[in-house]
């Protein structure tokens, strides 16, 4: 049975699924032939009497044939050249180069440090640059790495970035799209994702970071051949508008675009409380603050939209967004993740463990690990969290039973080896890496964790197959090497279950520290209030969720930004550059009590040692 309080129930359906970030007041989203005419005009002016040149550098996954078709229709007098077809290495050579990064594992690879030019034939790139420079006619270069050729010509050119969010790429791959130039349309979607995550997106992000300061236009490639963005015109904005929009976002509260996905254990809470499509069988996940995957919607004064990856904000504004000390520690990477795990009316999550720091560094090349926690946004009467091994557990017997369960001979008796703690609304369970854990059925979890989100070693998946009908991967060998066996019931209960400390109580505001564990780098504070609560980023990024109350607003005491409205269960980001801010009830709020949870990186706040 759901335990959402009556005051919060007023918020049902208010959850905003398409939050936007404003473009500068004078910026407009261009669409259709008008957009390419603007690019051609810029290239012609820059050419100063030479044959004009345009480079459309497209993120891997963009639909190049459709982009080329649109360019050819809008600019019939220009020659369109596919850089990938002209100069990319054969797929066999690419496969050989990245084989060590991909490994034979279905899920896990090793992070690549390759750059885009590693996927091209250097001689063919140079030859193509000479041909383009000597063509004597207008040319449009299209493809991932088009800038490589344009720069080699030595001629001035207009640069377009055709950018994409990773969730859009994944949806296309699930529908049959291959990886970049790979011949794998029918391959397992986990292997496609692995190729993107460990290789393609790493190289692509390194490359586009060299373009941001120079790009003349940004094209929304999510809407070209779209999966998620169907029905929206492919918008384009100027580079100046793009840079101004992300700079503005780094100085005021904002939200990324949440992405909802079904799962074998998925529940019904998000459908009912967040106003999602009721025809869907379930929703398991919501990635509500995973900038590596999510999007930002940039909106002009007329309501037109351009979608960009939220990572573009992290890459271009790391100091203002993250803060000096967090940036110094993590680089241009958003280290905090908020997401939802909905098992209301669903099933248990897999029994799992996350890698220890040394293991993730040595095995996968990731420099920090996935410490996490479960904050119970809601819970049924029978909800439990599986956490830590039982006292005096026989590790050999447990591992043997897990191996037998993997064969399908008999199920794993989780209750024999793993603690099950009753869970209720607003409980907080801390899960440092190495701790065996799972959320049980009939829970609505706000997962607060470090960002490396795919490094989950499933130990037992309750005998299920995935939505694709294929058994979900289990990684007992990895899991065995990372289980911390001394985390028994007494240790777990003392260290990981509801470690709530009152920090301050003044003026109707109760501030509590709810975690995380001392081994984890994330600090979580909860604030209860009736009217308003004062906050300060203290020089580091804050990530918050309104866990109680129908609606509130984030305001600046100095009027530095317009008040920003948030609703129940919405995750929002307050950049480090904001400094002092207030969260308060709005004029239309009907709730009597409000609650927020706020995560930040320990040791990065101003004045901390």
393-419: pLDDT as tens digits: 999 999 999 999 998 899 999 999 999
Confidence check: pLDDT of 516 > 90: no
Whether 492 shows a pLDDT value over 60: the answer reads yes
Residue 414's pLDDT is 96
3-state SS, 4-68, equals CCHHHHCCCCCCCCCCCEECCCCCCCEEHHHHHHHHHHHHHHHHCCCCCEEEEEECCCCCHHHHH
Summarize pLDDT for 434-465 with one digit per residue, the tens.
999 999 999 999 999 998 878 999 999 998 87
Given its phi and psi angles, is residue 61 left (phi above 0), alpha (psi -120 to 50 degrees) or beta?
Answer: left
pLDDT tens for 259-273 read 999 999 999 999 999
Q: What is the largest CA-CA distance in the chain?
A: 81
Confidence class of residue 191 from pLDDT cuts 50, 70 and 90? Answer: very high
User: pTM value?
Assistant: 0.95
Q: Give me the mean pLDDT over the 548-557 stretch.
A: 97
Q: How many beta carbons lie within 10 A of that of residue 453, not counting itself?
A: 17
Distance between CA 583 and CA 537 in Å, rounded? Answer: 13
Q: How far apart are the first and last CA of the chain?
A: 45
Q: What is the mean pLDDT of residues 362-375?
A: 95
What does pLDDT average to over the chain?
A: 94
Of 9-18, 31-40, 208-217, where does mean pLDDT reach its minimum?
9-18
Asked if pLDDT for residue 48 goes beyond 60, the answer is yes
Residue 548: predicted pLDDT: 97
> How far is 30 from 45, CA to CA, in rounded Å?
19
| Strand order from edge to edge, sheet including 501-506 | 501-506, 509-515, 522-529, 594-601, 542-548, 571-574
The reported pLDDT for the residue numbered 232 is: 74
Strand-pairing partners, residue 57, are: 143, 161
Beta 217-220 vs 158-163: how paired, if at all? Answer: parallel
Question: For 466-579, where are the E strands, in sequence order?
Answer: 501-506, 509-515, 522-529, 532-536, 542-548, 551-555, 564-567, 571-574
- Report whether pLDDT(592) > 50: yes
What is d(CA 389, CA 314) in angstroms, rounded to the nearest whole number? 38
DSSP, res 544: E
Supply 401's token pair.
């039973």
Average of pLDDT values for 567-571? 97
Q: What is the pLDDT of residue 7?
A: 57
Domains, the chain: 28-249 (3.40.50), 332-495 (2.60.120.10), 501-601 (2.60.120.10)
Q: Is 26 left (phi over 0), alpha (psi -120 to 50) or beta?
A: alpha
Q: What percent of the chain has pLDDT over 90?
A: 91
Nearest to 447 by CA among 550, 340, 357: 340
pLDDT of res. 1: 46
pLDDT at 468: 75
Least confident of 193-197, 229-233, 454-458: 229-233
Q: Please say if the pLDDT value at position 489 is more than 60.
A: yes
pLDDT over 70, % of the chain:
96
């Amino acid at each position: 049975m759901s335990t959402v309080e009556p005051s919060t129930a007023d918020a049902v359906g208010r959850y905003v699924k398409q939050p936007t970030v404003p473009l500068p007041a004078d910026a407009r989203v261009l669409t259709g032939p008008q957009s390419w005419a603007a690019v051609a005009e810029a290239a012609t002016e820059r050419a100063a009497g030479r044959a004009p040149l345009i480079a459309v550098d497209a993120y891997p996954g963009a639909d190049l044939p459709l982009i080329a078709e649109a360019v050819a229709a809008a600019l019939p007098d220009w020659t369109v050249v596919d850089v990938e077809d002209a100069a990319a290495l054969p797929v066999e050579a690419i496969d050989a180069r990245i084989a060590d990064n991909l490994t034979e594992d279905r899920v896990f690879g090793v992070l690549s440090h390759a750059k885009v030019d590693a996927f091209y034939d250097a001689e063919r790139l140079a030859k193509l640059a000479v041909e383009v420079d000597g063509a004597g006619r207008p040319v449009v270069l299209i493809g991932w790495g088009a800038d490589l050729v344009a720069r080699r010509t030595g001629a001035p050119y207009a640069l377009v970035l055709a950018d994409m969010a990773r969730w859009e790429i994944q949806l296309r791959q699930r529908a049959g799209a291959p990886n970049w130039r790979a011949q794998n349309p029918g391959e397992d979607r986990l292997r496609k994702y692995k190729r993107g995550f460990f290789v393609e997106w790493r190289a692509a992000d390194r490359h586009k970071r060299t373009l941001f300061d120079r790009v003349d236009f940004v094209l929304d490639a999510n809407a070209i051949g779209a999966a998620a963005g169907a029905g929206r015109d492919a918008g384009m904005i100027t580079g100046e508008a793009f840079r101004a929009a992300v700079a503005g976002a780094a100085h005021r509260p904002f939200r990324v675009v949440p992405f909802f996905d079904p799962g074998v254990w998925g529940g019904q809470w998000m459908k009912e409380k967040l106003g999602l499509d009721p025809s869907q069988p379930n929703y398991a996940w919501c990635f509500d603050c995973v900038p590596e995957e999510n999007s930002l919607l940039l909106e002009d004064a007329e309501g037109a939209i351009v979608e960009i990856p939220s990572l573009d904000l992290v890459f271009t504004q790391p100091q203002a967004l993250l803060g000096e000390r967090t940036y110094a520690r993590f680089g241009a990477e958003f280290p905090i993740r908020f997401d939802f795990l909905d098992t209301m009316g669903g099933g248990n999550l897999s029994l799992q463990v996350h890698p220890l720091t040394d293991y993730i560094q040595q095995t996968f090349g990731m420099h920090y690990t996935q410490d996490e926690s479960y904050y119970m946004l809601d819970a049924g009467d029978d909800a439990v969290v599986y956490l830590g091994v039982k006292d005096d557990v026989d590790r050999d017997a447990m591992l043997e039973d897990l191996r037998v369960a993997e064969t399908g001979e008999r199920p794993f008796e989780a209750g024999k080896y793993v603690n099950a703690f009753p869970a209720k609304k607003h409980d907080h369970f801390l899960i440092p890496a190495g701790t065996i854990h799972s959320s049980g059925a009939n829970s609505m979890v706000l997962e607060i964790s470090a960002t490396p989100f795919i490094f989950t070693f499933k130990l037992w998946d309750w005998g299920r197959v995935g939505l694709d009908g294929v058994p979900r991967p289990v990684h007992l060998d990895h899991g065995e090497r990372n289980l911390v066996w001394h985390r028994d019931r007494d240790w777990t209960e003392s260290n990981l279950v509801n470690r709530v400390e009152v920090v301050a109580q003044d003026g109707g505001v109760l501030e509590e520290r709810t975690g995380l564990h001392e081994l984890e780098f994330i600090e979580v504070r909860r604030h209860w209030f009736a009217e308003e609560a004062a906050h300060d980023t203290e020089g580091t990024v804050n990530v918050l969720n309104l866990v109680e109350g129908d609606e509130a607003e984030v305001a600046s005491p100095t009027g530095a930004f317009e008040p920003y409205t948030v609703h129940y269960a919405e995750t929002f980001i307050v950049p480090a550059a904001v400094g002092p801010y207030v969260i308060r009830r709005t004029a239309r709020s009907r709730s009597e009590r409000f609650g927020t949870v706020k995560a930040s990186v320990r040791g990065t706040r101003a004045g901390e040692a």
